[in-house]
Structure 1
C-alpha cells in the first residue's frame, strides 16, 4: 500500500462519526479519571494538612498547661504582676508565693478604660490547679490587710485556661451554639475543649472546628422529629395495599 492510499484511508477514518465518537469518549474517560485521581489526592492532602494543624495546635496548647489567664484586675504603671497574682490567689484562699510563679505579665493591646489580661505561668502544675480550682471563691473573696487587689475587684476577676488562638476561636463558636440552644454546655478543661448536648449527657472532647460542626450537625439530625404516621379516621395506622405484615 503506497502512501497516498494509506493517507486517504486514514482521512476517511478520521472523518467517520463513529470513530470520532469512540475517540472522544475514550479521551473524556481518560481526562475524567485523571481529574478524579487528582481531586482525591488533593482531598487527602487537605485532610493530612488539617490533622497536622490539629496536632500542632494540641502541642502548643500542651505547652501552656502551667499557664492561666487572669482578667479584670485594673492595670497601673510599674505594677508588680507577681504580687497581683499572689494577692488574688490569697483572696481565693490559695497561698501562692513568688517561688511558685515562673513569670507573669500583661498580654494584648492597650485599650483605654479596659485592663489587659494578666498571664501567669506557674512553676508546678499542682499550684496552677490549686488556684484554678479555687477561682469561684473569688465571688466571695477573703479580705486581708495589705492586699493590692480589693475584694470589690476580686469579685469580678475571672481565672481561665490560657488557650491558643485556635482554641479560643473554637470555644467562642461553641458558646454561640450554646446560646442558640444547640449545646447544653461548652468549656475548657486544662486546655481541652469539651461540650455536652444534654445536662446529664456524655462529655465530648473537641479538637477542631470541624469536630465541633460535625457534633452539632449530628445532634441536630438526632433531634429531628419523625414524620407523623398516616392514620385512618379512628386513629389506627392506615394499611396500604400490599403491606400484608401490617394487616396482621
Structure 2
C-alpha cells in the first residue's frame, strides 16, 4: 500500500488508480473509526456493568454481615478429642467470664475447619476457632462485653466478620496499630 502511494506521489501511476486508492483508504478510515466507536461503547458498557457488580457485592456483604449479627468467634480454646464444644464454651463463659449463658441461649456452636490428624486414628490437639450463634443479640452482646476478662489468657473473643470486612480490619490494624 505504501509503495503504491510512493508511486502515485512520484507521478508513476495514473489518476484512476490514485482515485481508487484514495477511496479505498477512506473506506479503511471509516471502518477504523466505526471500530473505535464500538470499542468506546463496549468500554462504557463494561464500566457500567462493573459498577453494578461492585454494588451487588457490597449488598451481598451487607446481607452476609447482617446474618452474623448474633455470632461470635472464639480463638485459642484447646481442642480435645470427643469434646462437646457447646459444653466447653458454656463452661468458659461461666468460669472465666463470669457470665451466665445457658444452653438455650446458643443456637449453634462448633469448631471451624477440619481437625488436624497425624494418622487415621490420632487427633492432634489443636486450637481451631469456634463459631457461636446466639439466639438473641442481647446474649451475644453480654458475652462480647465480658471478653476483657480474657485479656491475660490465650483465648480471644471476636466479632464474626465477612472476609471483606476482615481485610478492612486487617488493613486498619496494619496502618494504625492495635488499640490496647
User: Which category describes the TM-score, using the shorter chain as reference length?
Assistant: 0.7 to 0.9
Any idea what SS the aligned residue of 1:134 has?
Answer: helix
**161-170 or 73-82, which deviates more:** 161-170
1:67-146 aligned at under 5 Å gives the runs 67-90=71-94, 91-111=96-116, 112-139=124-151
Cα shift readout 1:126-163 (whole Å, capped 9, x = no counterpart): 110111111111125xxxxxxxxxxxxxx210001112
Inter-partner Cα distance in structure 2 for 1:110 and 1:172: 26
CA offset at residue 12 of structure 1?
A: 5.3
Root mean square deviation, CA, Å: 2.3
Equivalent residue runs for 1:6-17 within 5 Å: 15-17=20-22
Q: Does structure 1 residue 28 correspond to structure 2 residue 60?
A: no
Asked if 2 retains the 8 angstrom alpha-carbon contact of 1:94 and 1:130, the reply is yes
Q: What residue in structure 2 maps to residue 160 of structure 1?
A: 158
Q: Deviations over 1:156-189 (max 9, x none)?
A: 10001112233334433443xx2xxxx32579xx
Judge conservation of contact 1:171–1:186 (CA < 8 Å) in 2. Answer: no
Q: Which runs of 5+ in 1 are unaligned?
A: 1-10, 141-154, 188-248
2:66 corresponds to which residue?
62
Question: How many residues of Structure 1 are paired with residues of Structure 2 in the alignment?
Answer: 156
Inter-partner Cα distance in structure 2 for 1:186 and 1:12: 78
Scaled by the length of structure 1, the TM-score of the pair is: 0.56
- Name which structure has the greater RCO, CA cutoff 8 Å, separation 6+: 2
Equivalents in 1 of 2:77, 2:108: separation in Å? 17
Query: TM-score w.r.t. structure 2 length?
Result: 0.76
